[in-house]
Amino acid sequence: MRMDAKVRRLGEVVRARQPSVLLTGAGISTESGIPDFRSPSGIWAQYDPMEYATISAFRRDPRKVWEFYALRFEALTSAEPNEGHRALAELEGRGLVRAVVTQNIDTLHERAGSREVVEVHGSIREAECLAGEAGLLLVVGSSLEVHPVAGLPDTTLTAGGEVAIVNHSPTPYDGAASLRMESGAGETLAALADALC
Ligand code: NAD
């Protein structure tokens, strides 16, 4: 089937199978001048993701990771939506697209006029300092073995907060916690609520 015949067929499917949801990735924005990750000309052809795009890389050398992201953010903020982004916004306006679920962080769908956009990987609009403001991180029923959450106690302690743990079995943060209880989650939290009445 030639491309125009395929597009006609796709149009029939879009009409017949409502509601339709779009799932987009970095490829929709390469035509806006933003490189993707895994194409031959993508970002990972130049940079090792393990050195720049993991939470352990960030903890090892935050400056290096921020410098990498500063370059990316610069490219992202100066990019404009392309005809693909605009077409999806138009189709949403005509009632043929219910929502766009995107892995992209570039905000180009929104800037093209799409209204129902789910940014599953967040966006460049904001970055959060993980739990940075917590005076107390109370951990209940977690072995604290699985990242990224397992890094939260460190973040809290580094920012001057305290960690308390309610867990049946030991965790790597038992020594650093100011309070550790081996009791059950339900009875402990219920008793805590009573104590705070
Ligand atoms: P990916 O890099 O793994 O894959 C992109 C795919 O798009 C490739 O298979 C490539 O062949 C295809 N492609 C590239 N240009 C295209 C075009 N013009 N038309 C059709 N196909 C094209 O990207 P992914 O699958 O989205 O991986 C997810 C990760 O990439 C997410 O974490 C996302 O945040 C991140 N990312 C986002 C941006 C952005 O926000 N624009 C840019 C780079 C990476």
**Beta-sheet pairing, 162-166 with 136-140:** parallel
Q: Is 103 in the pocket of ligand 1 (CB under 6 A)?
A: yes
pTM strictly above 0.85: no
**63 membership: H or E segment, kind and range:** helix 62-78
Q: Name the band, by pLDDT with cuts 50, 70 and 90, for residue 12.
A: very high
Q: Is 121 in the pocket of ligand 1 (CB under 6 A)?
A: yes
Beta strands in the chain (DSSP E): 21-24, 99-102, 117-119, 136-140, 162-166, 179-181
pLDDT of residue 130: 60
Inter-CA distances, 128 with 53, 63, 122, 154, 155, Å: 16, 16, 10, 16, 12
Q: Is 84 in the pocket of ligand 1 (CB under 6 A)?
A: no
pLDDT value at 86 more than 90: yes
Task: Specify the residue with its C-alpha closest to ligand 1, atom 4.
Answer: 38
Q: Among 23, 24, 29, 37, which residue has the most ligand 1 atoms within 8 Å of its CB, making it the best to mutate?
A: 37
Task: Find the 29 Cα to ligand 1 centroid distance in Å.
Answer: 8
pLDDT value at 79 more than 70: yes
pLDDT tens profile 91-106: 999 999 999 999 999 9
Spell out the residues 6+ positions from residue 119 whose beta carbon is closer than 8 angstroms to its own.
Answer: 102, 104, 105, 107
Task: Find the 175 Cα to ligand 1 centroid distance in Å.
Answer: 43
pLDDT value at 188 more than 80: yes
pLDDT tens profile 146-178: 877 788 899 889 889 999 999 999 999 999 999
> 76 or 88: whose pLDDT is higher?
88
